[in-house]
Amino acid sequence: MHNVNEYLHNILDCVEEEIFWKDTNSVYLGCNKYTAELLGLKDPKDIIGKTDYDLFPKAEADILTYDDKLVIRTGRKIVFSSEITTATGKTIFHMCSKNPLYDKTGNIIGIIGNSCGINDHKKAEWIKIEKVQAEKEIAEKISHTVEMIAGHIAHEIRTPLSIIGVNIDRLQAELKKILITSYQQNKIKNFTDNIQYAIRNSSNVIKTLLVVTTSCKLIPVTG
């Protein structure tokens, strides 16, 4: 009977693309033979326990580690492009995807990544995809910020409007006690009615603003 782990590793070693997996601290747990050869490692097992800081310049390792954390934090797949220098000194443009790695209970325990070298035509396509993804993330952040600001503004406006409304009611009650003629009462009532109308109208504008803000999403314009 075949050893399942050995059988799986043999399959991965036949794939001429980079395949690797890490834990939640971005520490490598394994890779296939193709990845090890690109990184100048004698055996795929040599990558175990290493991080990107052991394999790449710090600036590049910072970016790769940030991507790992993003996948682990959001539970979402990300796709990005990068240029790497192989152990032979050759620079390759790579398209890389990273996915969250789950255990049997559905908890994220790390990431699994896949990278492949691409030609100039595919390079242009993937750069466009990466740009759209970045613009989408920026648009989502802007939408969230606008929603928060709108909510804060609505709260700040509603508070004084509520105070005004309460005091108008109290003012009407007090005026009824001191005003004698119905003419005076009607005149004051018209003034207070106008103020209350303005308050209701302002409240409706605030509600509309919040509905529009929460229902509309900013969509990045791409070329």
Residue whose token pair is 């409240």: 203
Give pLDDT, residue 161.
73
pLDDT tens digit sequence for 2-41: 566 776 777 777 777 889 999 999 999 999 998 898 888 9
Q: Give the span between the Cα atoms of 85 and 164, in whole angstroms.
A: 68
pLDDT above 70 covers a percentage of the chain that reads 75
Q: Give the span between the Cα atoms of 34 and 90, in whole angstroms.
A: 15
- Residue 35, exposed/middle/buried by CB under 10 A (0-12, 13-18, 19+)? buried
pLDDT tens digit sequence for 86-137: 656 667 777 789 999 999 999 999 999 998 766 555 556 666 766 777 777 7
| pTM listed for this prediction | 0.52
pLDDT tens digit sequence for 192-205: 777 777 777 777 77
What are the sequence ranges of the domains in the chain? 4-118, 137-215
Asked if the 4-118 domain carries CATH number 3.40.50.80, the reply is no
Give pLDDT, residue 215.
61
Residue predicted with more confidence, 53 or 180: 53
Give pLDDT, residue 128.
72
Q: For residue 117, what are the β-bridge partners?
A: 94
Q: 120-178 vs 182-215: helix axis angle to the nearest 10?
A: 170
Give pLDDT, residue 87.
55
Give pLDDT, residue 179.
58
Mean pLDDT rounded to a whole number for the chain: 78
| Band of pLDDT at residue 65, cut at 50, 70 and 90 | very high
Segment 68-75 mean pLDDT: 94
pLDDT at 206 over 80: no
| Band of pLDDT at residue 68, cut at 50, 70 and 90 | very high
Give pLDDT, residue 181.
66
* 207-211-216 Cα angle (round to 5): 150
Helix, strand, coil shares of the chain, percent, nearest 5, are: 60, 20, 20
Q: Which two tokens stand for residue 215?
A: 């229902």
Give pLDDT, residue 221.
40
